[in-house]
């Protein structure tokens, strides 16, 4: 097995499936089965989920909502997604812990680094909700920060495309895919991998990223087995 401890970043939009809003139960089940298959390989897994399928803080600027309050609403959206995934994973017999960057004693444990690491050592899936707990930071940045804190080997960014391209492959058929790319090239080419804060955190802490198609069955397990899937950033 190539990796021991992994942080998986899933976008909130990915949970919509073919819907235009909210959570698609079939997509949720598919992800849970993918995660179960990867866990059976023996990895330690942490997860960060976005909230864009419910609310994005940036929407606040167009709705007369204060940006800070809007970002806090976005954090709550990530908690809804995290709770949904937690329930779905537990239906598959997987032990989980949900940790929140905002105090929600009745719903989740507070984020405490040592406790999170201990859960992972006990082979529990740890879901980190509510982003970093601070406005103006994305869940990509939260994923990078938490991955560094728990000393993950790599961040796996599950998307709906099979890697990083020179241009948007959904709009440009001539776009070419990168198999490997450095952090410097990501900066210079202005590629939309993660926001710059997240990329800088990974670069400074020598934490590689793999961007891959989370919707293709088996991809997560293939990565665990060291197969070449998606685009590797920083290795």
Q: What pLDDT, in 10s, does the model give residues 97-134? A: 999 999 999 999 999 999 999 999 999 999 999 999 99
Whether pLDDT at 1 is above 90: no
Q: How confident is the model at residue 201 (pLDDT cuts 50, 70, 90)?
A: very high
Q: What pLDDT, in 10s, does the model give residues 162-179? A: 999 998 887 888 889 999
What pLDDT, on a 0 to 100 scale, did the predictor assign at position 57? 66
Average pLDDT of every residue of the chain? 93
| Structural domain range at position 86 | 5-233
Q: Determine what percent of the chain is predicted with pLDDT higher than 70.
A: 97
Q: What pLDDT, in 10s, does the model give residues 37-71? A: 999 989 999 999 999 999 876 666 677 888 899 99
Kindly calculate the radius of gyration of the chain based on its CA atoms and give it in whole angstroms.
17
What pLDDT, on a 0 to 100 scale, did the predictor assign at position 128? 98
What pLDDT, on a 0 to 100 scale, did the predictor assign at position 58? 66
Q: How confident is the model at residue 150 (pLDDT cuts 50, 70, 90)?
A: very high
Residues 7/231, Cβ–Cβ less than 8 Å: no
Q: How many domains does the chain have?
A: 1
Task: Encode 119-142 in three state secondary structure.
Answer: HHHCCCEEEEECCCCCCCCCHHHH
What pLDDT, on a 0 to 100 scale, did the predictor assign at position 136? 94
Measured CA to CA in angstroms, residue 132 lies from 3, 111, 212 at distances of 25, 10, 24
CATH of the domain at 179: 3.40.1160.10
Residues 60/66, Cβ–Cβ less than 8 Å: yes
């Amino acid at each position: 097995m190539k990796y021991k401890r992994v942080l998986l970043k899933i976008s909130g939009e990915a949970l919509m499936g073919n819907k235009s809003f909210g959570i698609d139960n079939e997509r949720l089940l598919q992800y849970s089965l993918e995660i179960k298959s990867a866990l059976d390989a023996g990895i330690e897994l942490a997860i960060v989920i976005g909230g864009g399928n419910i609310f994005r803080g940036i929407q606040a600027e167009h709705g007369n909502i204060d940006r800070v309050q809007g970002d806090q609403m976005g954090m709550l959206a990530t908690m809804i997604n995290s709770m949904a995934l937690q329930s779905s994973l537990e239906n598959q017999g997987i032990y989980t812990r949900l940790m929140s960057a905002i105090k929600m004693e009745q719903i989740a444990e507070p984020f405490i680094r040592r406790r999170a690491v201990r859960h992972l050592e006990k082979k529990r899936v740890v879901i980190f909700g509510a982003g970093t707990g601070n406005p103006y930071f994305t869940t990509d940045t939260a994923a990078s920060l938490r991955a560094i804190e728990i000393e993950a080997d790599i961040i796996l960014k599950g998307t709906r495309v099979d890697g990083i391209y020179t241009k948007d492959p959904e709009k440009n058929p001539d776009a070419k895919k990168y198999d490997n790319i450095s952090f410097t090239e990501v900066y210079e080419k202005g590629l939309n991998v993660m926001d710059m804060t997240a990329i800088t955190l990974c670069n400074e802490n020598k934490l590689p990223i793999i961007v891959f198609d989370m919707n293709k069955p088996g991809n997560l397990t293939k990565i665990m087995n060291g197969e070449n899937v998606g685009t590797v950033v920083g290795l």
